[in-house]
Structure 1
Amino acid sequence: MFPFKMSEGNPNDGPTPQPANPTSPCPCRDDTKGTQRYETKEQEADSAQESCYSLFTVTQKRWIVFLVAAAGMFSPMSSFIYYPAINSIASGLNTSVELINLTITSYMAVSGVVPTVVGNAADGLGRRPIYILTMLIYLVANIGLALQNSFPALLVLRMVQSAGSSGTISLGYGVISDITTPAERGSYVGLLLLGPNVAPPLGPIVGGVVSSKLGKLLDSDYASVARTHGLEVNRVFGDDLRNFPIEKARLRSVFYIIMGASLSILAYGWLLCFHVHFSAPLVMQFIIGATSTAIFTILGALLTDINSSASSTAAASANVIRCALAATGLAVVETMVQKIGPGWCFTIFSGITAAMGPLLLLERERGLGWRNKIYQGNGGSG
């Protein structure tokens, strides 16, 4: 027997057969097309939502960047806050200043290596668990440093402290890559670098403000290059950078900044050589700090753009080179000043800075072609 109900129309029509499961929709109903249309619209909405680059609002993005910038303060703060207390620490531990300086060297060495490991782990495991782990390590190291009373403990805990804090900047670049499109990324990179730059003294603070303003210039350059090549900027879904000359967008203004950095380094050296009033070298230091921060902001944004799938690892790799060059410079600058004087010493540094201009020009003109060759070599997998 089939379940049935009487027709509500003509009583003589007899029973109307019903399907065995009255709760299942009938495939022959007239509103099937309407249901399909409704489901199609839902699927389109879901698809659009999934293809949207980030579901965070602008306010939420700014708060996220504020938090990662705050986390980025800890590494430079832990480094710079240490310098004024070197003599006191040496006296308190009954050791020499030279040995205390060894803790600074070890701190820098760890800060050059650990971000590579942290960045690679964050690209594979996610940002949040790595942030929690590094901040926990940093917290434990600080507690240990507050309680220790021997040089070996100080040396080891300073390295642990560096391991916990030094990866936050590369993690921050990964977060920026996750939540922002290339069209808006410049401004957020500038905001990210405010954190590391407010930890040291006044010069880098102002340099951080400059980097924040520079971020808007980066976004403006991006839009200008897009218009020049007839490309539409999409701040919601993001742009496909495989065919976009992002190198021309990011490096559009960097050459003027490199020129300013090179000239200010040159002037700084000769001002020291002629023993002028100390205010003049301080002004040059301000310009050097501002231009250096600006260059770092621009190249950091470009590095994130062309390595969006492994942005933390890329930022960490750049940090290794940066720390290695910084350590080399610190090792030779005093000897150079004593041998050839500050004027010629900083003339050499100025020339090295200026020599980076042609290399970046080569990157700007040929970067897109190089990226396409890498993309094709990977079988179109990015």
Structure 2
Amino acid sequence: MLTIGRSMSTEKASDGQRAEAVEKYSVFTAAEKWCIVAMVSYAAWFSTLSSFIYYPAIRQLSQTFSVPVDKINLTVTSYMAVATVAPTLVGDTADVLGRRPVYVIALSLYIGANIAIVLSDTYAALLGLRVLQALAISGMLSVPVFGGGLTYAAGWTWIFWFLCIAAGSCLSIMTFFLPETSRNIVGNGSIRPSKHLRLPITTLMCHWKDSDVVADHQWRMPNPLKSLTIIARRDNTIIIIACGFLYIIYTCINTSLSVVFIDIYKLNQWQAGLIYLPFGIGGTVSTFFSGPLLNKAYRNARTKQGLPTDMAVADDLDNFSVEKARLGIIWTPMLVTTCSVVAFGWVLHYHQHIAIPLCLQFIAGLCMQLDFSIYNTLLVDKNYRTPAAAQAASNMVRCALAAIAVSFLQDMIDAMGIGWTFTFMGGLSLVAIGLFFVDYHRGTSWRQRSIASLSHQESRSGPA
């Protein structure tokens, strides 16, 4: 009996292992997955890096190219404008062509753009090359500190030499070690891709046999407009615009910091980099309690309606008011954001001690990061079927609005003064509060009507 039991157990285990092998989501080992995530994270870092490391050098760039600050701000605008649309194009292109070639091409263009910026001697070249830089790479708030140090010690050109060196090492690593992972091409990693998609070291991360047939991938034209349908829904539109206004404030603060503080407090480039720390530390601190706060509010909302709190999927979320569950905790941080931004502007206007605006930066950074965390969670809950498309739609709107605002930022400061400029920013925050308030009360009904209308259309288009 014992032998029979063991045989049956062994047979069941073998069957289970075979089933697991067939149904495995990914054939890559845990170590390989960690390596892939590390490489992709390294590459993704350059999009944020290219933006924040640039801010402390704005004043020096203005002097180098003999143009006013608002012209240099236009290079920030151009970067953000391209960053608005590039991810939607690159994302679908990667699905069509594969991940490896897109990473290699993008990083190569990015390295070339950084070298060209270092060698450029005209403002027009700088403006055009920033566009190319964004197009190539747009797919840590401590970074401005490093950018300030480089600018102070070696000049602004070393910002781009650093980006070039770091991106070059990333390109080398990904060329030799990043396998093709697009499920449209290699499935769970067990399908042999075309020769140009394989690693130079053919035995590395190879989970197919030489006898396997090469993947027969159906080519199509990339579609960069997939995420636009998300914006057509009223409940999405209203919160995406609200987030866009918040992002305007966030971007304008970071764009103006070094210029304003250098002018008012006579800081050098190294010190101009350090002034970004309070804003970044505030945002980091918020991450320690934003998750538990969101979870507690969500559980309380579901408990009040007699719903389970362990998990919620499909129709459960469709019929649950995620708007009230999420937005119920946003009012206090939004009001503090508004007050801190306005106070920040007037403290700078009256040239108060530098410690005061730095403390206000910490408060603004903490509250704004909490605002964004609540918003992002709500956006995903509303669009749990298509979260990636929803995030892409949000990025398009917020980057477009911020790009427009930054292009007029210096003109606003010159015409209105720093105090009234940030009072205007506080007004945008109040408008965002109003938009969230509308979604709090009307968002659930709008969302449910859209879902019902979509279900009706699908049922009518189905087989008779």
Q: TM-score scaled to structure 2, two decimals?
A: 0.54
* Displacement of 1:354: 2.0
* Displacement of 1:374: 0.9
Q: What is the distance in 1 between the residues matched to 2:57 and 2:131?
A: 17
Change (3 A) 1:84 1:360: closer
Q: What is the distance in 1 between the residues matched to 2:102 and 2:424?
A: 41
Q: What is the distance in 2 between the residues matched to 1:233 and 1:59?
A: 34
Residues 176-195 of structure 1 deviation map (CA, whole Å, 9 limit, x = unaligned): xxxxxxxxxxxxxxxxxxxx
Change (3 A) 1:273 1:208: closer
The more displaced of 320-329 and 122-131 is: 122-131
262, 265, 281: which is aligned to 2:338? 262
Equivalent residues of 1:123, 1:312 under 8 A apart: no
Equivalent residues of 1:119, 1:312 under 8 A apart: no
Matched, 1:112 2:84: yes
* Displacement of 1:88: 6.1
Q: What is the distance in 1 between the residues matched to 2:296 and 2:410?
A: 41
* Displacement of 1:373: 0.9
Change (3 A) 1:158 1:202: same
Residues 265-303 of structure 1 deviation map (CA, whole Å, 9 limit, x = unaligned): 222233233332121122112222222222122212222
Matched, 1:249 2:325: yes
Q: Could you tell me which amino acid in structure 2 is paired with residue 300 of structure 1?
A: N
* Displacement of 1:96: 4.6
375, 378, 381: which is aligned to 1:305? 381
Q: What is the distance in 2 between the residues matched to 1:225 and 1:123?
A: 38
Change (3 A) 1:59 1:302: farther
81, 89, 93: which is aligned to 2:53? 81
Equivalent residues of 1:119, 1:316 under 8 A apart: no
451, 456, 461: which is aligned to 1:375? 451
113, 119, 129: which is aligned to 1:157? 129
Change (3 A) 1:215 1:161: farther
Equivalent residues of 1:250, 1:302 under 8 A apart: yes
Q: Could you tell me which amino acid in structure 2 is paired with residue 369 of structure 1?
A: S
279, 297, 322: which is aligned to 1:221? 297
Equivalent residues of 1:138, 1:160 under 8 A apart: yes
Alignment of 1:55-204 (within 5 A): 71-85=43-57, 96=67, 102-118=74-90, 134-135=106-107, 137-139=109-111, 141-142=113-114, 145=117, 154-167=126-139, 201-204=276-279
CA RMSD of aligned residues (A): 4.7
Q: What is the distance in 1 between the residues matched to 2:408 and 2:120?
A: 33
Is the partner of 1:378 in helix, strand or coil? helix
Q: What is the distance in 1 between the residues matched to 2:423 and 2:66?
A: 38
Q: Could you tell me which amino acid in structure 2 is paired with residue 269 of structure 1?
A: G
- The corresponding residue for 1:292 is 368
Q: Could you tell me which amino acid in structure 2 is paired with residue 239 of structure 1?
A: V
Alignment of 1:307-322 (within 5 A): 307-322=383-398
Equivalent residues of 1:123, 1:309 under 8 A apart: no
Matched, 1:272 2:244: no
- The corresponding residue for 1:206 is 281
Q: Could you tell me which amino acid in structure 2 is paired with residue 81 of structure 1?
A: I
* Displacement of 1:261: 0.4
Q: Could you tell me which amino acid in structure 2 is paired with residue 366 of structure 1?
A: R
Q: What is the distance in 2 between the residues matched to 1:88 and 1:378?
A: 54
Change (3 A) 1:124 1:375: farther
Change (3 A) 1:362 1:70: farther
Q: Could you tell me which amino acid in structure 2 is paired with residue 316 of structure 1?
A: A
Q: What is the distance in 1 between the residues matched to 2:50 and 2:100?
A: 22
Is the partner of 1:259 in helix, strand or coil? helix
The more displaced of 127-136 and 324-333 is: 127-136
Is the partner of 1:163 in helix, strand or coil? helix
Q: What is the distance in 1 between the residues matched to 2:295 and 2:101?
A: 31
Q: Could you tell me which amino acid in structure 1 is paired with residue 277 of structure 2?
A: L
Residues 25-77 of structure 1 deviation map (CA, whole Å, 9 limit, x = unaligned): xxxxxxxxx9xxx9xx98xx98xx89x9x999x99999998776655432231
The more displaced of 71-80 and 118-127 is: 118-127
Q: Could you tell me which amino acid in structure 1 is paired with residue 77 of structure 2?
A: T
Change (3 A) 1:294 1:55: farther
Q: Could you tell me which amino acid in structure 1 is paired with residue 377 of structure 2?
A: A
Q: What is the distance in 1 between the residues matched to 2:391 and 2:355?
A: 35
Is the partner of 1:294 in helix, strand or coil? helix
Q: What is the distance in 2 between the residues matched to 1:295 and 1:68?
A: 27
Q: What is the distance in 2 between the residues matched to 1:227 and 1:63?
A: 41
Equivalent residues of 1:123, 1:310 under 8 A apart: no
Gaps of 5+ in 1: 1-33, 168-195
* Displacement of 1:353: 1.0
**Count of matched residue positions in the alignment of Structure 1 and Structure 2:** 314
* Displacement of 1:202: 1.2
Q: What is the distance in 2 between the residues matched to 1:342 and 1:91?
A: 21
- The corresponding residue for 1:357 is 433
Q: Could you tell me which amino acid in structure 1 is paired with residue 313 of structure 2?
A: D
Q: Could you tell me which amino acid in structure 1 is paired with residue 350 of structure 2?
A: F
- The corresponding residue for 2:195 is none
Q: What is the distance in 1 between the residues matched to 2:450 and 2:78?
A: 37
* Displacement of 1:258: 0.4
